[in-house]
Chains A and B, each alone.
Chain A
Amino acid sequence: MKALMYGWEFPPHILGGLGTASYGLTKGMWECGDMDITFVIPKPFGDEEKHFARIIGMSQVPVCWRDVSREYLQERIGNVMDPDLYYRLRDHIYADFNYMRTNDLGCIEFSGRYPDNLVEEINNYSICAGVVARTIDYDIIHSHDWLTYPAGIHSKQVSGKPLVIHVHATEFDRSRGKPNPTVFAIEKDGMNNADHIICVSNLTRDTVIHNYGIDPAKVTTVHNAVTPLTPEQLNVPEHKSKDKVVTFLGRITMQKGPEYFVEAAAKVLKNNPNVRFVMAGSGDMMNKMIMLAAERGIADRFHFPGFQRGSQVYEMLKASDVYVMPSVSEPFGISPLEAMQMGVPSIISKQSGCAEILDNVIKTDYWDIDAMADAINSIVTYPAMYNQLREDGLAEVNQITWDKAGRKVIDIYNKVLGR
């Protein structure tokens, strides 16, 4: 079966969980066999893994005809695209886009990030998708998250092939219930046009059904999974301090509930001074959190190391005794699974999608700082609790593999295609 997938991020250049999940799922589907996947992203860097999917970068898709030689192409974009594919794409330009700002190859430039003119970039992505959809051969279209829904709809209109959209998050999660109307409209349009909708958790599925008014019959949950860690990731240097370390790792934004973590920390420190708290990451609420920690008088035990990249994440986890994810609304939340892979006991909010599939974690309501503080204290005080969660958690998370999720997605494809 041939699938055309639209995504926004792809490892190793990722900004959040979306890239990790798209990558894992694609690889998992490939492992199930008999899948030919074309994965389209805004801007490839050339160092992506390519053996399980063909990667096309929108920033190399021509929308205006330019006469360029093979040698020039090879030199210019050879690391990310085969010149033959460029010529084939060029043969399928479907309208005159010369009014747009294009480069010497007739391509639109993409940042591949989440810039301020994001809506414009989404639109451009959809324009390029028209070319891709006319060029390559596929049975089904699969759009990851709202940024690529317009591209998916466009492709469906061009080819008549069924569209599956994958909801990794909704605007309701990101905005704590006050959605941006533009984003909501794009999401709603995508859902209306989709032949089937895949959600990363039942929590998200409920949001899609109730807040977007979608027929439950065409919404299915496929929980995310994790990719096994490499030996390099597992064997990062260990920095153990003599104090117990409790870690929050993620964007410091409203959605992630950082203030509940600070409040719980204050409760723990009142009775148990030998604990340190770390809030790693960056975000628009960071300064507010620094203020709050100072206000609670725990700044000497509460640390903000900033954004962690690459192996720093694993070093951070390895140095931790407890991982906390107090998200107010988390469609899935892959980070506690990564913490469990590193053998760190995790506390997650019941409002996280991953709570639906995890047993060997502690689940609290995000607002219940008493319960959260109690759980933190229990893990750092009782070795039995730590070891039980650590060992059984590791065993559990190793069973959550992408090929199982991939299998479910393939089943959905077959259903949609009537096979």
Chain B
Amino acid sequence: MKAICFYFQIHQPFRLKRYRFFDIGNDHYYYDDFANDDIIERIATRSYIPAAQSLLKMIEESEGKFKCALSITGSALEQFEQYVPDMIDLLKKLATTGCVEFLSETYAHSLASLADPEEFISQVEAHKAKIKELFGQEPKVIRNTELIYSDEIAPLIGSMGYKGIITEGAKHILGWKSPNYVYAAATAPDVKLLLKNDKFSDDLSERFSNTTWDEYPLTADKYINWIASTPAEEQIVNLFMNLEVFGDFQPRETGIFQFLEALPRFAAEKGIEFITPAEAVAKLKAVDTLSVPFPMSWSDEERDVSAWLGNKLQKEAFEKLYSVSERVRLCDNRLLKQDWDRLQAADHFFYMSTKTSHAFSPYETPFEAFTNYMNVLADFIVRVEEQYPMSIDNEELSSLLTTIRNQEREIETLNKEAESMRKNIEHFNEEHLLREKQAEAEAAEKAPKVAKAPKAAKPKAEKAPKEKKAPAKKAAAKKEK
């Protein structure tokens, strides 16, 4: 039985506003709210919302036979919450059908997996929590930013308990092998790899509306036939693409939505089912291990990371950014952490690329992108420094912070101890007082003739009520707290 595994990506970065060097130290708000609002609303109207509605319709019409996976970055979710709340509702509706699986990824759409494993893990955890909170699902499969994957990343992901990774089926890695099987990671054999089928994915994302393509026009019928005519033993066809393909890259008038909605019917005719990544990872066995010594991605002809870290500008900005990562983790300022997340978005580095055209860049040139980003980063670093001076190195700072935290704990235990001691003393005093009174009474009965005794007892008797009042007040105060 052949199966199609669809996964759609949704991501929008927080674009930066024009930030001049003389703003450094004066202005700590970095985002172009107008552009962010405008872009996400436009794309949501053109693509995300109609595409999500199509998916919903397909699930309902096929009575749950159609399944797919979605991966939505934390920054996209935040922007939906802020600007397009309808989309969140729609996504929740998709989640309740049980036919849509939500994948894990880095919260900030960051390249942390290439520089900072600790940061990578914390971002994946943050994203997982966000998905759980919004959609009530616990992701089992992960896709790293831009499908970046290498042998180094696999064990990291394995250690977090994921069973599967979604990545690229790059020709230079596969060679003669087919992407239509499940593979296992060479460095973490328990983790399975689902590889993008470039040909079939790009037929939709790139060629669908190209009138000079010799297969134009592409119909659902023809497309499913192609998939059906792949060798029988190939069990899974992974179609991974951005959700914007529907309605934005391929505008509505190309008929892309009708094409999409027709797929389940033709698939059913050919006996092809739909499967989610988690199901695929659970059901299918890995045919082989796959070793990827250098990071690959789903971008550009090279399928490597040079779109983000290809030139000097990108490398410099990237290094500067992660040079403060440890320091930022030591801070506990919420705003600082939010900026830290948003500055890590891979998009900022993509805008600095000198090799491709900049269709999505808000900047005219990569140099402008670099200058603007570095100005923002300079201000950000100043703020990090303000938290803790840079003259202390990270290790020293970390040990000082542990000392401080330990001291806090110590002070707390000592306080508790002091408290209980005080109570003991009070108890002791009360008992002592009672005993004295008793003794006095006895003495008075026994020797009423002694004149001095009442004199000595009097001041003590006066003291006693005072001491009794004090603990009562304290107890009252505690209750108020």
A: residues with CB less than 8 A from B are 267, 270-272, 359-360, 362-363, 370-371, 373-375, 377-378, 381-385, 387-389, 391-392
Contact = CB atoms under 8 A, between A and B. Distances in A.
B22 A363 contact: no
Contacts of B364: 363
A389 B22 CA distance: 22
Given A362-B367, A363-B364, A382 B22 contact: no
The contact size tier of chain B is 20 to 34
A374 B312 contact: no
A362 to B, nearest CB: 5
A220 B386 CA distance: 58
Interface in B304-335: 311-313, 315-317
B375 A374 contact: yes
A374 B20 contact: yes
A378 B374 contact: yes
How would you classify the secondary structure of chain B's contact residues: helix, strand, loop or mixed? helix
Contacts of B313: 384-385, 388
A110 B371 CA distance: 51
A389 B367 contact: yes
Contacts of A272: 21
B413 interface: no
A378 B370 contact: yes
Contacts of B20: 370-371, 373-374
Nearest to B22: A271
A384 B312 contact: yes
B412 interface: no
A354 to B, nearest CB: 15
Nearest to B316: A384
Given A375-B367, A382-B370, A387 B312 contact: yes
Nearest to A389: B367
A359 B355 CA distance: 11
A392 B370 CA distance: 15
A340 to B, nearest CB: 14
B365 interface: yes
Contacts of B316: 382-385
B21 A385 contact: no
B371 A378 contact: yes
Interface in B32-49: none
A392 B313 CA distance: 12
Contacts of B368: 362, 375
Contacts of A374: 20-21, 371-372, 375
B311 to A, nearest CB: 6
A47 B464 CA distance: 120
A119 B402 CA distance: 84
Contacts of A382: 316, 370-371, 374
A382 B311 CA distance: 14
B54 interface: no
28 contacts: A267-B22, A270-B22, A271-B24, A272-B21, A359-B354, A362-B367, A362-B368, A373-B20, A373-B21, A373-B22, A374-B20, A374-B21, A374-B371, A377-B21, A377-B371, A378-B367, A378-B374, A381-B21, A382-B370, A382-B374, A383-B316, A384-B316, A384-B317, A385-B367, A385-B374, A388-B312, A389-B367, A392-B354
